[in-house]
Amino acid sequence: MDITAAHQHLKKDPRLVPLLFKYSASSLNVSTHLFRDLLESIIGQQLSIKAASTIIKRFINLFPDLQNIRPEDILAQDAATFRSVGLSRQKISYLQSLSEFILSEKLVLASLKDLSDEAVIDNLTQVKGIGRWTAEMMLIFSLGREDVFSVGDLGLRTAVSRIYGVDREDKLKIENIAKKWSPHRSLASLYLWQSLDNK
């Protein structure tokens, strides 16, 4: 991403300009730990940032090689161990489903980088427990895709609602507002999240 060119493009929207000066956002990165990223994303679903962070830390500490958790490692653990670190039965089943998909090669993580955004979403959402929102977060934060706006994200809709004076449940109107930021909607999203001042 040419961050300077991206900023120049976003500055064409006067409502975004104050955010560009107040906050900072850098280029998007491509992760080398896609499996672990997916595990953490599933664990963090519908939890506060603080609760998710606590459970993810306990979960990761179950494994000897923290940086290289494998699908086999997930399937080798018993459910009681996972429950002891705060995971629900439902989320345990999601982690197991993901691991089984990868081991059976129904989902090949290494191939995601070569797919279009929609194809990545289609591939990931085959797995029980991974919906469109989780797939879109993977696109932004793990695959470094530059033009993703997740209209399913309540935080983003809240930020757009505050800045543009629209109903945050009017997803069509919010999507249309976001179109003007293309092809840099991911960067715009980073600024919008920061504008919420979530700690």
pLDDT digits (tens, 9 = 90+) for 25-58: 877 888 989 999 999 999 998 888 899 999 999 9
Per-residue confidence (pLDDT) for residue 198, from 0 to 100: 55
Q: CA–CA distance from 43 to each of 40, 69, 133, 142, 159 (Å)?
A: 5, 14, 14, 16, 25
Alpha helices, H only, 45-125: 49-60, 71-76, 79-84, 89-103, 117-124
pLDDT bin (cut points 50, 70, 90) of residue 199 is very low
Q: What average pLDDT is seen over the chain? A: 93
**Are 159 and 196 spatial neighbours (Cβ–Cβ below 8 Å)?**
yes
Predicted structure pTM score: 0.91
Residue 4 has pLDDT above 90, yes or no: no
The DSSP 8-state label assigned to residue 142 in this structure reads T
Per-residue confidence (pLDDT) for residue 105, from 0 to 100: 95
For residues 177 and 84, what is the distance between their CA atoms, to the nearest angstrom? 44
pLDDT digits (tens, 9 = 90+) for 88-118: 999 999 999 999 999 999 999 999 999 999 9
For residues 23 and 46, what is the distance between their CA atoms, to the nearest angstrom? 26
| Structural domains of the chain, with CATH | 3-28+148-195 (1.10.1670.40), 34-141 (1.10.340.30)
